[in-house]
Structure 1
Amino acid sequence: MRKILKHNKLIVIIISLITVFFIFQLPKIEINNDIQVFLPDDHPTKISNNRLDEIFGESDSIVTAVKFKTGEIFSPPNLETLSKLSSELENIPSIDEVTSLTNADYIEGSSEGMIVEELVEELPTNKEESRKIKSKTLNWDLYENNLYSDDFKSTQIVISLNDGLNNEEKEKAYYQIKKVTDSYQNNNTEIYIAGATAVNVLMGHSMLEDIKYLIPFIIGVLILILYLFFKRSLAVVLILMTVLVSSIWAIGLMAFLGINLTLVSTVIPVLLIAVGSAYGIHILSHYYDYLNEYQGEISVSEQKELVIKTVDKMGKAVFLAALTTIAGFGSLASSQIVPIKSFGIFTAFGIAAAFIVALFLIPSLLIIIANIKNDVLAENVETAEFKSILEKLHNFYSKRRISMIILAVLILSGSFLGFEDIIVDTPLIEMFKEDTEIRQADDFINDNFAGTNIMRVMVEGEEMGDLNHPDILTQMDGLQQHLVSHFDEVGKASSITDYIKRMNQVMNYPEAETTKTSTNSEENAVKTNESLETSSSFYEDDSEESASSFYKEDTQKTNKNSEANSSSFYQTENKKSTNSQPKREVLEGPAREKNISEYEFIQLLNAALTRAEKKNINAGELVNLLAEEMNYQAAAYYEIPTDLDKYGAASKQNLQNLISQYLLLYSGSVDDLINDQLEPDKAQMLLQLNNPSNLAAQKVRKEIYDYSDNFPEDYKLTVSGNAAMALEANNLIVSSQTRSIIISFIIVFLIVAISFRSVIAGLYGIIPLAFSLIINFGLMGHLGIKLDVGTAMVASIAIGIGVDYTIHFLHSYHAERIKEDDLHLVTQKTLTTTGKAIIFNAISVAAGFLVLLFSNFYPLIYLGFLIAVTMCTSSIASLTILPLLLNIFKPEFISKEH
């Protein structure tokens, strides 16, 4: 070191140039908290989600909920507000589509055929017109829990963003949307914005707030603690410079390599400021101890010798401490959760930088300052109080060995009891505090609508047209109904089956119930039927024909004029084999003038109830069952057509052709639900979960895969989406945590064992760490702190930092043990020298991490709290349990020269 420190000015210049380089990289850093960044690129769920994005388009959307305090959403003034809001949102460049109550597609049947129009063609001017719009909305369950809430006071506007937007463009789009919606906030209107994109944008905003306020806060805390300990401004400046340089290097390297800043990596500068001070503290603490031995003036040459003596004495211990800390954080590189992996790698780099600065820059500056100041007066600023406290502590526990062991066992036993209560869950939205705008918006939407947590299910056939088959569509519809009825967390399940059922219904309206359409609607309907007739022969079996009619005034008329009045999907050019075609069963709608007796009314209710899947149903469900029983507005046809007799089809192929033509006739876009408008082989089902918990998503996903056994073997189901990716990230937490802990312990064991050339030494090295980790996990269980993406790092951080205390104590104890055989005196000297630095370091680190209690995010709050606790427990264990064991068992390695 003497030769290296001769070039002290060159060392300062090199470190300064590197720091300046990384400072210029800092503006390049980008923030990204998309759930996809948590999974490695080769993870199956991430790959499948990317594949779904390619097939059906990206699922990035922002959900806006609008609540009206006065009147229903269907009232004229409220619909007018929604219309204007939707129009303004559509003008934002980054928005692909806006779907709201005033512009949603509505499929209707008429005497002319199927009509696809906007749900609100013209804004209502009176209550009667409003009721008609409300009736239409309630007529199709696709809108339920999406376009209206149960109390009809709130509605949703779903905003789909353009594909391929980068994070900056998404952020810009969010704030443009926010600006528009804020202009509509008034005494009658409340607007909530939620969704994955909103969460990511606001998480980034809150992260910047954390960095802006917490870093100055922790620097202030560190300055205060350093000054109280050293009582020298120079020591404060040198140590502060060490941590700032290491933080700049770590974040600057991330920016240089294009690594995104995530919620997890927000902790890096805070951690480096708190932890990186340790090496400077130990070096300067011993340097000033040597300096305090002098009385009066000390020459420049003597100061230089003290610097070199300090580095030579502390160099090995500081190196081993840094090496084990780097290993502790480096173990996180084994994590499959990408932000945690990045956190481990760049924190380890930052620790290495802090070690280099402490070992080379601080001594170099001390020498340069000594040259400038020439002779100085050595001041003994140390007080005896702290030393006295440590001596009393040692005297206290050294006389109570058995009591100390019993106390340690009781603490560990109580901690183990908390293990079974640890919950592994990491929903992104729950990282925000309850009083934040995004959290309140998410809660409002989950309480009043289908939910914001999206799970995507892709059903995939082998050949084009496989997803037109009525049997597979029936299975898809069955899965949707099963999930909604069996899981309260599933607020909505939607797919192409909802559209096919609706089209099947409206194309089978009883003629007496068909709506009278406007001129434009009639033209659209006529085109629909013309398209139906001209295209039908393309899908038919050449050997079959049909006499089925979509509309029937009465049975006799239909039978007499079946050929003239029918619009058959199965009609062929061969008109001679009519008798071979199965006769279609045509269901009439309810009679408009028939009076029924009380007995018949009870019979009707009973008949409707027999259709129910459960006994306890609400009024709305009863009305729907009555509509099916009486075929009101073809409610009996709100189904996937599978019954050959009912639809007058000779084979399932005929019904498959029928479904193909439904899709052909639909003038709206269903690209986000099927991969081909005519003959799809892939379809997407969207599940909206009203519970952000990954535990809820896990139950739903398991049920989907269990239910998939009902699907034919040549069909494949794949579950993905934000909910599935968050679940996978959640599942990786435990495995990653276990792996990183094992790796950390192994590396610490090896480093300590090699350093002391003893396997037993390695075991002693991990005892205090194991003690603190057991307390940490027990505390999490007892306090209900979840194991999430933030708290998952506590163990590795605790090992990485806590091992410093063990190494410093072992080295100091070993040095004193070689000089002395009196174990009481050896322990006392170790405590009053190295023990002093250990306690101070633990206090500074704990205080630094306690600053995270003021973070905007719960994972960081709990991380700060738990790290502070582990710093206390690991340092106390190093100063009590470790010397207790050394003095009781007297291992050979501690008294041997190495």
Structure 2
Amino acid sequence: MKKILKHNKLIVIIISLITLFFLFQLPKIEINNDIEVFLPDTHPTKISNNQLDDIFGESDSIVTALKFKKGDIFTPANLETISKLSSELENLKDVDEVTSLTGVDYIKGSAEGMVVEDLVEDLPQTEAEGRKVKNKVLSWDLYSDNLYAKDFKSTQVLISLNDGLTNADKEKAYYQIKDVTNNYKNNNTEIHLAGATAVNVLMGSSMVEDIKYLIPFIIAVLILVLYLFFKRALAVVLILMTVLVSSIWAIGLMAFLGINLTLVSTVIPVLLIAVGSAYGIHILSHYYDYLNEYQGEITVAEQQNLVIKTVNKMGKAVFLAALTTVAGFGSLASSEIVPIKSFGIFTAFGIAAAFIVALFLIPSLLIIIANYKDDFKTKNTDTPEFESVLEKLHSFYSKRRISIIIIAVLILSGSLLGFEDIVVDTPLIEMFKEDTQIRQADNFINENFAGTNIMRVMIEGKESGDLNNPEILKDMDGLQKHLLTNFKEVGKASSITDYIKRMNQVMNYPEEEIESASDQTAAGTEQLSKSEAASSSFYADESQATSSSFYQADENQESEMSSSSFYSDSESEKDTEGSSFYQGESESETESSSEREILKGPDKQKNISEYQFIQLLNSAFARADRKDIDARELIDLLEKEMNYKAAAYYEIPADLDKYGAASQQNLQNLISQYLLLYSGSVDDLINDQLEPDKGQMLLQLNDPSNLVAKKVRAEIYDYTSDFPEKYNLTVAGNATMALEANNLIVSSQEKSIMISFLIVFLIVALSFRSVIAGFYGIIPLAFALIINFGLMGHLGIKLDVGTAMVASIAIGIGVDYTIHFLHSYHQERLKEDDLYLVTQRTLTSTGKAIIFNAISVAAGFLVLLFSNFYPLIYLGFLIAVTMFTSSVASLTILPLLLNMFKPKFISKEY
């Protein structure tokens, strides 16, 4: 080292140039907290999600929820607000599509068959016209829990962004959307913004805020603690310089390599400031101990010799401490969770940088500073009070070995009991505090609508048109109903089946109802007579239904036309050839299909008795698949029982007899014709408008927990195990990727802990040339980790992407205390056989530096208690606890075991 430190000025220049290089890289750093960055590119779920993005487009959207305090969402004034907001949002550059009450397709039946129009063609001017819009909305459950809440006070505007946007583009689009929506906030309108994109953007903003405030805070804490210990401004400056240089190197390298900054990597500068100070502390602590032996002044040469002496004595211990710390953090590189992997790699690099600066830059600067002084005055920085406390501590526990062992066993036993209560869960939204706008927005939407957590299910056939098969569509519809029935957390399940069922319904509207609708249209404003209104009181005020033009025919259209014309009419050769859905079938099959008759709807003229009404209710209830149905469900069953507005046909056409089809191919052709007739876009649900072989089901979960997603996904796989073999199933989406990241936490945690312990064991064992030494090296760490995980279980702290790093950080930092103690104890043991004195001297020298280092690291991490994110708050708290437990274990349990068992390695000279 003496030869190296002769080139002290060159060392300073080289380190300064490297620091400047990395400093200029910092502006290039990008923030990205999208859930997909948590998974490696080779992960099957990430590959599947990218595949679904390519086929159906990206499913993530920014959700704008509006709540009106005056009137419901169907009043003219509120509908006008929704319309204006939707129009403004559509005009934004990066917005691809806006879905709202005033901008969504509506499928209705008419004398012509099927008509696709805007749900709101003209904004209503009166309350009555608003109620007509409401009637239309309620006629199709596709809109429920997305475009209206149960209290009709709230609605959503779903904003899809253009595909392929960068994170910077998404951030810009989010704030543009926020600016637009803010203009609509008033005494009547409450607005919430949520969705995966909003979470990602706001997490980035909060990260910047954390860095902006926490870094200066931790630096101030470090300066205060360092000054209280050293009582020298120079020591504070030198150690502070060490941690700042190491932080610049680590983050600068990330920027240079194009690695995104995530919530996890936000901790890197905080950690390096807190931990990187250790090496400078140990070197300067021993340097000033030597310096305190002189009284008054020493020569420059003597001072330089002290620097060399300090480095020679502490070099090995600091090197081993840095090596094991690098190994501890480097073990995180084995994690499959990408942000944790990056955190481990670049933190290890930063620790190595801190070691280099402490071992080379600090001594070089001490020598350079001494060269510019004519004399070098010493300043006594002894801390006799502190040393006295350590001596008393040693005296206390050296006489109570058995008691300490019993206490340690009890603490470990209590901690182990907490293991079974540890919950592994990583919902991104729950990383925010409850009082943040995004958390409140997400809660509002989950409570009032279908939910913001998206799971995607793709059903894939082998050939073009396979998804038109009524059997697979019926299975898909069954899956949707099953999930909605069995999981309250599944707020909505949507797929192409919703459109097929609606089209089947309107194409099978009872003929007499179509004729009635045509007559109503021809009559213009003609109203039902009082007797007609009275006789139809059980049928939801039919006068309103007809007056809403729900099934109006064109005035020039002949009233005889009905949906039955879409099936082969045996009386008309021309109709059979021109409009049959069963073209290409044999003549007998065509004749068979023509025998079908559409079920009649309710008779408007018929009065029924109370007894018949009870019978009707019982018949409708018999259709239910469970007993605990609500009023809305009972009404739906009544409508199906009576085929009110073809409610009995709101289904996938799969029954050959009911639809007068000779084969399943007939019905598959029918479904193909439905898709041909539909003029709207369903690109987000099927891969081809006419002959799809891939279909997507979107599940909206109103609970962000990965434990819920796990149960739902397992049920999907279980239910679809009976699907035809020719169809493959893929489950993806943000909910699934978060679940996979959650699953990786446990395996990554176990792997990194084992690797950390193994590396620490090997380094200590090789250093002391003893396998037994390796076991002594990991005992304090094991003690600290058991307490850490037990505490998590007892306090209900979840094992998430933040707290998953505690173990490796604790090992990486805590091993320093063990190595420094073993190294100092070994040196004292070579000089003295009296174990009491050996332990006392070790405690008053190295023990002092260990406690001070533990306090400074703990204080640094406690700054994270002021973070915007719960994982970082818990990380800071748990690291502070492990610093306490690992340092105490190193200063009590470790010497206790060394003195009791007297291992040979500790008294050998190497």
Residues in 2 aligned to 1:891 and 1:574: alpha-carbon distance in whole angstroms: 94
Task: State the partner residue of 1:212.
Answer: 212
Deviation at 1:446, TM superposition (A): 0.3
Aligned partners of 1:112 and 1:525 also within 8 Å: yes
Task: Using the TM superposition, give the Cα deviation of residue 525 of structure 1 relative to its aligned residue in structure 2, in angstroms.
Answer: 8.4
Distance 1:802 1:141 in 2: 59
The answer to whether structure 1 residue 784 and structure 2 residue 763 are counterparts is no
Establish whether residue 844 from structure 1 lines up as the match of residue 859 from structure 2: no
Question: Residue type matched to 1:386 in 2?
Answer: F
Q: Is residue 70 from structure 1 mapped to residue 82 from structure 2 by the alignment?
A: no
SS across alignment from 1:107? strand
Correspondence for 2:733: 721
The question of whether the paired residues in 2 share the 8 Å contact of 1:582 and 1:645 is answered with: no
Contact 1:549/1:568 (8 A) holds in 2? no
Q: Judging changes above 3 Å, is the alpha-carbon distance between structure 1 residues 581 and 202 closer, same or farther for their aligned structure 2 residues?
A: closer
RMSD: 2.2
Query: So what's the TM-score if we normalise by structure 1?
Result: 0.95
Distance 1:200 1:222 in 2: 32
Structure 1 residue 381: deviation in Å?
2.2
Select which of 689, 692, 717 maps to 2:701.
689
Q: Which residue of 2 aligns with 1:833?
A: 845
Q: What are the equivalent positions in structure 2 for 1:35-434 lying under 5 Å apart?
A: 35-434=35-434
Q: Structure 2 counterpart of 1:358, which letter?
A: A
Q: Distance between the aligned counterparts of 2:414 and 2:848, measured in 1?
A: 30
Q: Is the alpha carbon distance of 1:213 and 1:525 closer, same or farther for their aligned partners in structure 2, counting shifts above 3 Å?
A: farther
Q: Are residues 620 and 577 of structure 1, via their aligned partners in 2, closer, same or farther at CA, if it must alter by over 3 Å?
A: closer
Amino acid at match of 1:604: L
Is residue 2:512 matched to residue 1:506?
no
Aligned-residue offset at 1:550: 2.3
Residue 562 of structure 1 deviates from its aligned partner by 10
Shift of 1:112: 1.4
CA 1:374–1:525: 2 relative to 1, 3 Å: farther
Q: Taking structure 1 as reference, are residues 86 and 368 closer, same or farther at Cα in structure 2, changes over 3 Å only? A: same
1:657 aligned residue: 669
**Superposed displacement of residue 576, structure 1:** 9.0
Distance 1:454 1:26, change over 3 A: same
Q: Which amino acid aligns with 1:172?
A: K
Task: Indicate the SS of the match to 2:106.
Answer: strand
- The offset of 1:101, in angstroms, is 0.7
Does the CA contact (< 8 Å) of 1:583 and 1:645 recur in 2?
no
Specify the alignment match of 2:563 in structure 1.
Answer: 550
- Higher mean Cα deviation, 470-479 or 567-576? 567-576
User: Deviation digits for residues 313-363 of structure 1, max 9, x if unmatched?
Assistant: 000000000000000000000000000000000000000000000000000
In structure 2, what is the equivalent of residue 468 of structure 1?
Answer: 468
The equivalent residue for 2:11 is 11
Matches within 5 A, 1:469-508: 469-508=469-508
Q: Give the distance between the partners of 2:584 and 2:815, measured in 1 at CA.
A: 84
Give the 3 Å change call, closer, same or farther, for CA 440–523 of structure 1 in structure 2.
Answer: closer
Q: Deviation of residue 577 (structure 1)?
A: 8.3
Which of the residues 784, 790, 795 maps onto 2:807?
Answer: 795
Kept in 1, the 8 Å contact 2:425–2:799? The answer is yes
Shift of 1:364: 0.2
Residues 582 and 648, structure 1, Cα contact 8 Å, conserved in 2: yes
1:587 counterpart = 2:595: no
Q: Which residue of 2 aligns with 1:543?
A: none
TM-superposition CA deviations, 1:246-293 (whole Å, max 9, x none):
000000000000000000000000000000000000000000000000
Q: Where does residue 881 of structure 2 map in the other structure?
A: 869
TM-score, with structure 2 as normaliser: 0.94
More deviation in 647-656 or 505-514?
505-514
Structure 1 unaligned regions, length at least 5: 531-546
Which string of whole-angstrom CA distances, capped at 9 and with x for unpartnered residues, describes residues 700-724 of structure 1?
0000000111200111111000000
The one-letter code sitting in structure 1 at the alignment partner of 2:159 is I
Query: Aligned residue for 1:607?
Result: 619
**Per-residue CA distance 1:453-490 (angstroms, 9 max, x = gap):** 00000000011110000000000000000000000110
- How many Å separate the matches in 1 of 2:368 and 2:26? 30
Question: Residues 525 and 464 of structure 1: is their aligned pair in 2 closer, same or farther, counting only changes over 3 Å?
Answer: farther
In the other structure, the counterpart of 1:23 is 23
Aligned-pair CA distance for 1:551: 4.4
Regions of 4+ moved over 6 Å = 521-527, 558-566, 572-578
In the TM superposition, residue 572 of structure 1 has moved relative to its aligned partner by 6.3
1:509 partner letter: Y
C-alpha distance in structure 1 between counterparts of 2:395 and 2:234, whole Å = 35
**In structure 1, distance between residues paired with 2:573 and 2:620:** 31
Query: Is 1:321–1:808's contact at 8 Å kept on the other side of the alignment?
Result: yes
1:570 alignment partner, one of 570, 582, 589: 582
The offset of 1:585, in angstroms, is 3.2
Q: Could you say if the C-alpha distance between residues 695 and 577 of structure 1 is closer, same or farther in structure 2, counting changes exceeding 3 Å?
A: closer
- Given the superposition, is the C-alpha separation of residues 579 and 166 from structure 1 closer, same or farther in structure 2, using an over 3 Å criterion? closer
Q: Distance in 2 between matches of 1:877 and 1:312?
A: 27
SS of the residue 2:872 aligns to: helix
- CA deviation after TM superposition for structure 1 residue 493, in Å: 0.3
CA distance in 2, matches of 1:578, 1:783: 71
Contact 1:510 1:552 in 2 (8 A): no
Whole-Å Cα distance in 2 between the matches of residues 81 and 604 of structure 1? 43
Amino acid at match of 1:846: A
- The amino acid across from 2:97 in the alignment is E
Instruction: Give, in whole Å, the separation in 2 of the partners of 1:606 and 1:393.
Output: 82
Asked if residue 884 in structure 1 is aligned to residue 896 in structure 2, the reply is yes
What displacement does 1:568 show? 3.5
Alpha-carbon contact 2:95-2:160 (below 8 Å) kept: yes
Query: Secondary structure of 1:373's partner?
Result: coil
Other structure's SS at 1:570 match = coil
Residue 127 of structure 1, CA deviation = 1.3
* 1:671 aligned partner: 683
Q: How many residues align?
A: 877
**Structure 1 pair 139/445, CA: closer, same or farther in 2 (3 Å)?**
same
Contact 1:211/1:266 (8 A) holds in 2: yes
Among 726, 740, 746, which residue is 2:758 paired with?
Answer: 746
Q: Given that residues 72 and 153 in structure 2 are in contact (C-alpha distance below 8 angstroms), is that contact kept between their aligned partners in structure 1?
A: yes
User: d(CA) in 1 for partners of 2:452 and 2:670?
Assistant: 34
Tell me the distance in 1 between the aligned counterparts of 2:120 and 2:598: 31
Cα deviation 1:836-868 (Å, max 9, x = unaligned): 000000000000000000000000000000000
Which secondary structure does the structure 2 equivalent of 1:685 belong to?
strand
Query: Structure 1 875/371 Cα, relative in aligned 2: closer, same or farther at 3 Å?
Result: same
Distance 1:719 1:577 in 2: 39
Whole-angstrom CA distance in 2 between matches of 1:524 and 1:56 = 34
AA paired with 1:719? Answer: V
Deviation of residue 367 (structure 1)? 0.2
The percentage of aligned residue pairs carrying the same residue is 80
* CA contact 1:549–1:562 (8 Å) conserved in 2: no
Amino acid at match of 2:644: Y
**1:646-676 Cα distance to aligned partner (Å, 9 max, x none):** 1121111010001011111111110110001
When residues 220 and 483 of structure 1 are mapped into structure 2, their CA distance, relative to the original with a 3 A threshold, is same
**In structure 2, distance between residues paired with 1:418 and 1:73:** 50
**Paired amino acid for 1:832:** T
Contact 1:753 1:761 in 2 (8 A): yes
Q: Could you say which residue in structure 2 is the equivalent of 1:454?
A: 454
Alignment of 1:855 with 2:875, yes or no, is: no
Give, in whole Å, the separation in 2 of the partners of 1:434 and 1:508: 50
Whether contact under 8 Å (1:63, 1:195) holds in the other structure is: yes
Equivalent pair of 2:9/2:368 in contact (CA under 8 Å): yes
Show CA shifts across 1:517-574 (max 9, x none).
799x9999889x99xxxxxxxxxxxxxxxx9962499xxxx99789869954225698
Contact 1:511/1:552 (<8 A) preserved:
no
Q: Partners of 1:524 and 1:336 in 2: how far apart?
A: 59
